[in-house]
Structure 1
Amino acid sequence: MASAKVQAQNGAQVSMTNQTSDVMTLDRSKDWSGNVATSLPQTIRPGESVTFAHLSDGDFGSRAAVVYTGTNAAGVPCGWVLAWDAPAYTQQSPNKVYVVCGVKPFIDHLDFNQIRLSLSASTSESNATDPATKTSTTATINESIPNKATVEAIFSLIP
């Protein structure tokens, strides 16, 4: 007898806030499963929060990453990475989020396979700080909307 499936998550609602003093620009993105409902925000102005929906891909859920770039307080090019995994059935695998930040050449050399491995080893909360560039990022993922994961990330600078 086949077991009945529980209600699946149908995607992720992703919110990102730019708490830096520079405009952040989308550098690249990766969809491992699922896809963006409309389009990714191309820029995030200082103090601005942006939101987009990432739709589930059937049984695999919503798993993706975005990379935004900007500058730190000293004008050094930097990058901020956000990755999430909102599986269709959280009973089999929990929601996960992963973030990293730093100088742009470091971020440029991160490939999406490395990011995916780090995401797989992560939990529902992730924080990163780079003391050299004084960049910081934090993110959480939860199920506050019925049948949809909510991802919230803050890209910032540390004093």
Structure 2
Amino acid sequence: MKNIVYVLESDTARFGAVELQDGSIAPIYDLIGSRLIEMIRFDDMHSLFVDEEALRDGLTAFTIFDGCPKPLAGKIVLVGGDCGQPYRAPLITIADAAARFRCCRPVLDPVFATAGDMTPKGLIVAGALASLQVRIDRRSPVLEESENRGLIQ
């Protein structure tokens, strides 16, 4: 039986299935790319593994999971199981899992001066960049078409 896990990449919002060599925790560390990972309960039958240090200065993307009060960043791995080993394939579809996530990224929107705007010296500079407004773009994960993105040992 294949040992499949689901992987969500916060930076790209891609969500796909990956086959692990075995059901131990070692391939999950390699998949996430960190030696310090955190386990978060997804539900009674599933767990998430995330990079504990992915929330850092200069963050360009993050993920909101409806079961967690803090944002998550980096790669997020969903496995079946109740924290016992070995881990197994999720019992839910990737589409059902994806419905619980929102991938977010900060966006800067330019604000241009209008004809009625005044500069400190009283000049009207219509069309000039007046400021930048920050907003958070939220979107659903993009499901990968491939059922298996590779074998992780």
Structure ID, larger Rg: 2
Q: Does 1 or 2 have the higher relative contact order (CA < 8 Å, sep 6+)?
A: 2
What TM-score range do you get, normalising by the shorter chain?
Answer: 0.3 to 0.5
What is the TM-score of this pair, normalised by structure 2?
Answer: 0.33
